[in-house]
Amino acid sequence: MTSKCFHCNEVVPRGINLSVEISQIQQPMCCIGCQAVAQTIVDNGLTQYYDVRTEPAQKGQSLVPEQLQKNKLLDEAVLQSEFIYQENDCKEAILTIDGISCAACAWLIEMQLDKLEGLVKINVNATSQRATVKWRDSALKLSEILHAIEHIGYQALPFKANEAELRNKKQSKAFIKRLGISGILMMQIMMIAFGLYFGAFSEMAEHNKVYLRWVSFVLAIPIIFYGAFPFYTGALKAIKARRLSMDVPVSIAIILAFSASAWATITQQGEVYFESVSMFTFLLLIGKFLEFRARSHASQVSANLLKLMPMTATKVILSGGGINKLSQSKEILVAAKQLIQGDHVIVKPGEVVPADGIIISGQSQLNEAMLSGEQLPISKTINDNVFAGTINGDGNITVQVKQATNQSFLSQLIRLSEQAQAHKPKIAKLSDKIAQYFVALILLTSIATAIYWQQHLPEEAFWITLSVLVATCPCALSLATPTALTCATTHLNRAGIMIKSGHVMETMPKINCFAFDKTGTLTTGEFTINKVDLVYSESNYTQEQILAIAAALETYSEHPIAKPFAEYRDYNLTAENVKVHSGQGVTGTLHNIDYAIGKYSWLAKTTSFDQSQAQSFSDASCILVANKQVIAAFYLIDNIRDDAHNTLSQLNKSNKTLLLSGDSQTACDIISQALPINTVLGGLTAQDKMEQIKQAQKQGYKVAMTGDGVNDSPVFGAAHVSIAMGCGADITKSGADVILLNNKMSSIETLIKIAHKTRRIILQNYLWAFGYNAIVLPLAVAGYITPYMAVIGMSASSILVITNSLRLLKK
């Protein structure tokens, strides 16, 4: 009986006995090519491809290299859905890159990939060893990007939390192995060196000295060719790309020291320094290992967030009765990443919400600490939004999925956090250029030093030159900015503050004017209907009907005022020809009657109000009009945020504060009596708010705008820094530079403090890096620094910069 290839579905020829274990089942393969491709899919944890594919794969080509096969598989749309974010023709992904040893490596990758046609942007974060890549799919494929990275000597794969953690563990084990071997052998060489030193005073026989030198030579080989291997690969990658990295002078120093000692051993002429080069390499490895551990610690936040995403979800297959027939529906267990918009899922007590959505049945308390940093559970009921990764409390809820897992708010948080960490301020870009020239200066200075000392003190020339090469290596210079930015962003994420734009940490310390919206920003935005005035009570409208009509219109609005009407929604009423007027109100038609609900000032332009109505309705939150006749006025109440007063009091000490609101001036004046605000302006349109911000900027102010509504979105573009409340509209959050996930006004103070502290720490890092090199270079050239001191100084310099940056992680 003939069997078919599990991969390409072609008939397996007689005599071929090839198979691959897929999902614990041995599946037949028709050729080596299909076997290699299938094994690659299994090895990379992508076996879901076989579960969700709609057609057999193309026949594998055995002559295609395995790595290229793996890369081309990642071009498949089914596989990309797990890690790709797509916007029109552009795709964006986070890649994990192996082999990055310092910031120069990141710079090298950026420079090389920038040449690819179709690449929109690439930001490489040397601290987290990850890259955010955006490209036009019509002009460039992900496999081509991966191949370009591999072509310059680095290994790149899509970022996955578990794989990143395993890779870090693997790298850590490799570091420890190199350290262990180098350390043990170094100690043996040091013991022999002591024997040689003391033997010189006890007239040791010459053949014994030769024997000990050869033993040292043999013991030093693993240290030089295994322990120091990462330095050579880093140097070769840089030279291959015609660039200079920090590994270049270090590699030259190690090779020169070992070669000179090896030549002295072979020719039996001159001195050997195997103990020096062994200790030199061992100390360098310790510095690299400590730097790696610090980088791993600083980059854990994204990986930890990704782990919050559940693997499975309980999907509900509706039986035809809609949400009112949930009890008759069928439940099936599916992979969370297969959920699409419109799916219904049940989230049971203690389970993790698998996707962003809206509750359509049930109520519960959810822990959103992973987003906001707030540990207290939040009560959620029908029509409330829930987010992927949050933990359900004590109730059963049914959620309608709003968007796929890879486009969830948590996924966006991770992606944007990576972008913010990878952003390079002007001072960082300048330091990268300086570092390149500085390495060249080190090499030229070393050559000049060697020439000078060879003429004046030949026996010390070699070791003085070696000290110059090592002591002045500018590793700390390149670590100064990325480590600080990564730690700062991590701290803010933990505090419920999401940085979306890279320039925020650079711009925030310059801000001296803070503008605020009122509703949902200074106030909670959780309105309740306090009073309903029926104007034509003699007509057929009852209060219940009035509220149902208002709810049918307001369901299309994202404004916080619309939310309290949701509980009065009658699903038998559906508005037509609905138009949302940003910051003003909503118009629509129900049963051939034209309705409008919105501000009095807006409706007054098209509706006739008598004098008594004008006086009473000017204070109303919104007015309902039918065929240009007033039928009801709604009065809503909103509470001021608990921390608004303290926050504004602190900001007023050294900044200007503005209240820019679309609400009536009367409502704004009431707020100003309770809060310390310099300037209060009400009744403003989005255009008016933009003009006010531009006017403040003309006066020399750097402005930060905080808001939450759709009407604030265009205003954000005018401000230097835009801050959105986490409870705000999606369109507002998508256009903001910062999102306060915890909805706390006090988070603005935290953001300011961390931004100032980050700038201060970056400057401290640069001051130390430049100061250290400025002091050490002349001392090394003058011969006052030994190779031991040079290694310790260089390693200590890098570790000091990283440790200083890690202070940003402290609360």
Give the tens place of pLDDT for each residue, 266-302.
888 777 778 777 877 787 777 677 666 655 654 554 4
Structure confidence at residue 62 (pLDDT): 43
Q: Assess contact for 315 and 332: CB atoms under 8 A.
A: yes
pLDDT at 431: 60
Residue 63 has a pLDDT of 36
pLDDT of residue 323: 47
Tell me which of 232 and 474 has the higher pLDDT: 232
Within a 13 Å sphere around the CA of 92, how many CA atoms are in the beta-carbon half?
A: 18
Q: Which residues contact 473 (CB under 8 A, 6 or more apart)?
A: 246, 249, 250, 439, 442, 794
CB 483 within 8 A of CB 294: yes
Distance CA 142, CA 135 (A): 8
Query: Nearest 10 degrees: CA dihedral of 691, 695, 696, 697?
Result: 100
Decide: helix, strand or coil at residue 241. Answer: coil
pLDDT on residue 754: 92
Instruction: Decide if pLDDT at 518 tops 90.
Output: no
- Rounded Cα distance between 339 and 191, Å, is 64
Alpha helix (H) ranges present in 642-745?
A: 644-651, 665-674, 686-698, 713-716, 730-735
Return mean pLDDT, the chain: 77
pLDDT of 25 reads 86
In the numeric block, which tokens belong to residue 190?
């040091």
Above 90 in pLDDT, residue 665? no
325 pLDDT higher than 50: no
Cα-to-chain-centroid distance, residue 806: 18
Checking if the pLDDT of 42 tops 80, the result is: no
Give me the half-sphere count of Cα atoms (radius 13 Å) on the Cβ side of residue 296: 17
Rounded mean pLDDT, 762-785: 86
Which residue did the predictor score with more confidence, 805 or 514? 514
CA–CA gap between residue 210 and residue 226 (Å, rounded): 25
Range name among 195-209, 436-450, 484-498 with the lowest pLDDT average:
195-209
pLDDT (tens digit per residue) in 240-257:
767 776 677 778 878 887
Are 468 and 449 in contact, with CB atoms under 8 Å apart?
A: yes
Give the residue with greater pLDDT, 525 vs 495: 495
Task: List Cα–Cα distances, 417 to 231, 277, 294, 497, in angstroms.
Answer: 30, 42, 19, 10
φ, ψ dihedrals at 591, nearest 5°: 50, 45
Q: Detail the DSSP E strand segments found in 441-518.
A: 497-499, 513-516
Over residues 1-14, mean pLDDT = 79
| Token pair for 275 | 């103990």
Residue with tokens 């099936």: 332
Q: What percent of the chain shows pLDDT beyond 90?
A: 4
Lowest mean pLDDT among 463-477, 501-515, 561-575: 463-477
Q: Are 582 and 710 in contact (CB under 8 A)?
A: yes
Q: What is the H or E stretch that residue 595 is in?
A: strand 593-598
CA dist., res. 94 & res. 76, Å (int): 17
Q: Is the pLDDT of residue 66 over 50?
A: no
Question: Which of the residue ranges 179-193, 403-417, 782-796 would you say has the lowest mean pLDDT?
Answer: 403-417
Instruction: Answer yes or no: is pLDDT of 426 > 70.
Output: no
Find where tokens 């037509």 sit: 576
Q: How far apart are CA 180 and CA 173, in angstroms?
A: 10
Which of 2-11, 234-243, 541-550, 744-753 is least confident? 234-243
Mean pLDDT over 735-759 rounds to 86
- Look at residue 265 and tell me whether its pLDDT is greater than 80: yes
Q: For residue 757, what pLDDT is reported?
A: 92
pLDDT at 650 exceeding the cut of 60 = yes
Query: Residue 94 corresponds to which tokens in the numbers above?
Result: 């986070």
Q: Give the residue, 556 or 306, on which the prediction is more confident.
A: 556
Asked whether residue 55 carries a pLDDT value surpassing 90, the answer given is no
What is residue 64's predicted lDDT score, i.e. its pLDDT?
41
d(CA 114, CA 422): 15
In 495-599, alpha helices (H): 504-507, 543-554
In the three-class reduction of DSSP (H, G, I as helix; E, B as strand; rest coil), residue 743 is classed as coil
* CA dist., res. 560 & res. 549, Å (int): 18
Phi, psi of 166 (to 5 degrees): -65, -40
Amino acid in position 139: A
Helix (H, G, I), strand (E, B) or coil at 212: helix
389-410 CB burial, b ≥16 within 10 A, e <16: bbbbbebebbbbbbbbbbbbbb
Kind and range of the H or E element at 532? strand 528-534
Residue 753 in this model has a pLDDT that exceeds 90: yes
| Residue 542: predicted pLDDT | 83
CA distance 603 to 625: 8
Output the pLDDT for position 229: 87
DSSP H helix total and E strand total for the chain: 28, 29
Q: Which of 115, 114, 109, 119 is nearest to 140 (CA)?
A: 119
What global pTM score does this model have? 0.55
Does residue 561 have a pLDDT over 50? Answer: yes
Burial class (CB in 10 A: 0-12, 13-18, 19+), 162: exposed
The larger pLDDT score, comparing residue 78 to residue 689, is at: 689
Please count the other Cβ atoms lying within 10 Å of the Cβ belonging to residue 456: 9
Range with the largest mean pLDDT of 303-307, 502-506, 647-651: 647-651
Percent over 70 (pLDDT), the chain:
74
Query: How far is C-alpha 777 from the chain's CA centre?
Result: 37
The strands making up 378-380's β-sheet, listed across from edge to edge, are 378-380, 364-367, 391-392
- What's residue 544's pLDDT? 87
Nearest to 7 by CA among 45, 51, 57: 57
- In this structure, what token pair is assigned to residue 549? 């009509």
Query: By C-alpha distance, which of 477, 486, 421, 422 is closest to 806?
Result: 486
Residue 38 or residue 657, greater confidence: 657
